[in-house]
């Protein structure tokens, strides 16, 4: 369908278009009026301490680097695992069931920021709750990895990059959210009208 045809269709259905745009704008305002969220973010550095032989390059040093990179993937998976989330809930004094696990999982975001760097982000409705959840997950991670490394490779270690995570209020802009809502409403109306016109053409042919 050509652009000229789409413009003609929109001109014929201005009321339909206006309804979708209005609904999109209202939806944008609704999103803006949702309770404010707070974000707690902190990073973990994964490393393996090589044995010092005094040489500039050793096989041990190379192996330590490769082991650190592989272990970073394990730590990443641990942070997203149901086991660690269960431990965090217990530390928070919350019941461990399907509902609480699902709610907690929605609050968490894990990102591999670098080869040996993992970032953990927690969103919640208050700065205190956001930080409490982050600390519970951090403690659970460090305890779990310490136990795993004690029975395996004791040279592997995980440390927080900063002693305290960063807590901030989530950015929310009224104009931006309304514009996104309007754009989505407009795009949806164009799609629906184009689909209707295409269906008519198919039936008539």
> pLDDT tens digit string along 5-19?
667 776 777 787 888
What's the pLDDT tens digit per position in 180-202? 888 888 888 878 877 777 677 66
| Whole-number pLDDT of residue 5 | 67
| Whole-number pLDDT of residue 202 | 66
171, pLDDT greater than 80:
no
Query: Got the DSSP string for the chain?
Result: --HHHHHHHHHHTHHHHHHHHHHHHHHHHHHHTSPP-EEEEEEEEEEE-----S-SS-HHHHHHHHHHHHHHHHHHHHHTSHHHHHHHHHHTT---SHHHHHHHHHHEEEEEEETTEEEEEEEESSHHHHHHHHHHHHHHHHHHHHHHHHHS-TTEEEEESSSS-EEEEPP--HHHHHHHHHHHHHHHHHHHHHHHHHHHHHHH-
- Class assignment of domain 38-169? alpha beta
Query: What pTM was computed for the model?
Result: 0.65
56, pLDDT greater than 50:
no
What's the pLDDT tens digit per position in 96-151? 999 999 999 999 999 998 888 999 999 998 899 999 999 999 999 999 988 887 77
Q: If pLDDT is split at 50, 70 and 90, which confidence band does 89 have?
A: very high
* Domains of the chain, residue spans: 3-34+173-204, 38-169
44, pLDDT greater than 90:
yes
């Amino acid at each position: 369908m050509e652009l000229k045809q789409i413009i003609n269709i929109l001109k014929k259905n201005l009321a339909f278009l206006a309804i979708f745009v209005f609904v999109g704008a209202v939806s944008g305002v609704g999103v803006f009026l949702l309770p404010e969220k707070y974000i707690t973010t902190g990073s973990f550095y994964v490393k393996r301490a090589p044995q010092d032989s005094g040489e500039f390059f050793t096989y041990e040093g190379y192996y330590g680097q490769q082991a650190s990179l592989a272990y970073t993937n394990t730590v990443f998976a641990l942070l997203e695992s149901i086991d660690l989330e269960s431990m965090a809930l217990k530390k928070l004094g919350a019941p461990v069931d399907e509902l609480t696990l699902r709610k907690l999982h929605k609050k968490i975001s894990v990102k591999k920021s670098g080869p040996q760097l993992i970032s953990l982000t927690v969103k919640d409705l208050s700065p205190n709750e956001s930080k409490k959840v982050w600390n519970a997950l951090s403690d659970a991670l460090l305890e779990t990895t310490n136990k795993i490394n004690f029975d395996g490779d004791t040279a592997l270690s995980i440390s927080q990059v900063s002693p305290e995570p960063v807590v901030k209020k989530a950015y929310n802009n009224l104009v931006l959210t309304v514009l996104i809502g309007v754009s989505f409403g407009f795009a949806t109306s164009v799609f629906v009208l184009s689909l209707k016109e295409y269906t008519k053409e198919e039936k008539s042919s």
